[in-house]
Structure 1
Amino acid sequence: MPNLKLTLTALLLMSSLFCYAQSDEKSIETQVTRMISDWNTHEFKNMDLYTTEDVEWVNIVGMWWKGRKDVKMAHQSTFDVFFNGVPFSQKSLNIRFLTGDVAIANLVCHVGSLFPPDGIDRGNNRTPETDNLLMLVYKKKSGIWLLSAGQNTIIDPEAAKHNPITIKTN
């Protein structure tokens, strides 16, 4: 009988941890959805709901923004100019928990064609649609998963053909 109690206790503990992890994963998925929604509406008024006050962001050309105020302003500025009207869609999301309150989310998203760097159509400066890989670091604060750091990289399809380790992007 003692072994049965121990086994049942272990099973109960494992199932509750599994449910807890699923709940945390869903919470992070919700935060990623909020972020993508802001990208598509081109308004970052919701950023306070999904980022830490000290969030940092490294964009696709290596600009490093620090603090929610600057990250929000920089996103708004770039989306007002060259991401204006550009659609974003999630292709995949993989979440890995480093600790009970820190997780890394690798997001592959599809980005529509755009006119960099200033958003102006010059007849020959439209970039093709592309996929981007984002590494997002989430921290659980007061029970809420918040983005603490993000980094965005354009996936080069030609280079990807030669990658010895295939990364699933769809």
Structure 2
Amino acid sequence: MTDLPRRPEDIPAAFAAAWMARDATGLATLFAEDADFVNVVGLWWHDRPAIERAHAYGLATFFAESTLIPGVIRCRLLGDVAVVSCRFTLTGQRLPDGAVAGARRTILTFVARALGQGWQVVAAQNTDVVEGAETHVNAGVLRPADYRR
């Protein structure tokens, strides 16, 4: 089993390290057995095996040559629980036609609990950062929108 991060602030680096190693099992061991993970399009995985399967698929296919770099981290301690948010930059994702997609920026938020051997994630949600937008609208196709203009 992968060692759990010693501090909650170490979770993003551990997640990125497992991603870069294409180690879906190591990535999944950061999560509790009954953890939840919501990805950028709202797919919702309800336990560690589902989180592992989803990441194993992505890391072997469209994310196989990607780079995930953690940036700014904010951590809020709530006793033996922490909310950790991190801006990530993702490059090298493959488009369905095999071409390389442009860079994406996301904010991945982890809710973690302290265990004797480190911090374990109980829930995570990933959100794409869409510059110049404040919400999405559905006008037949879901798209970003900005009402301030």
Please, what TM-score do these two structures have when normalized by structure 2?
A: 0.78
Aligned counterparts, 1:62-81, within 5 A: 62-81=42-61
Q: What corresponds to 2:76 in structure 1? A: 96
Q: What corresponds to 2:140 in structure 1? A: none
Give the structure with the higher percent helix: 1
Structure 2: segments with no counterpart, 5+ residues: 135-145
Q: What corresponds to 1:142 in structure 2? A: 116
Structure 1: segments with no counterpart, 5+ residues: 1-24, 165-170
CA distance in 2, matches of 1:41, 1:48: 13
How far does residue 45 in structure 1 lie from its aligned partner after superposition? 2.6
CA 1:109 to 1:48, structure 2 compared with 1: closer, same or farther past 3 Å? Answer: closer
Cα deviation, 1:23-66, whole Å, max 9, x if unaligned, reads xx961123322111011111123235421111110011110001
CA distance in 2, matches of 1:163, 1:40: 38
Give the structure with the higher percent strand: 2
Q: What corresponds to 1:128 in structure 2? A: 102
Question: Number of matched residues?
Answer: 133
CA 1:163 to 1:141, structure 2 compared with 1: closer, same or farther past 3 Å? Answer: farther
CA distance in 1, matches of 2:23, 2:117: 26
Please, what TM-score do these two structures have when normalized by structure 1?
A: 0.69
Computing the radius of gyration from Cα coordinates, the structure with the larger value is: 1
CA distance in 2, matches of 1:94, 1:37: 19
How far does residue 144 in structure 1 lie from its aligned partner after superposition? 2.2
1:56 partnered with 2:36: yes
CA distance in 1, matches of 2:30, 2:44: 19
Give identity over the alignment, percent.
Answer: 21
Which letter maps to 2:44? W
Deviates more, 1:29-38 or 1:145-154: 29-38
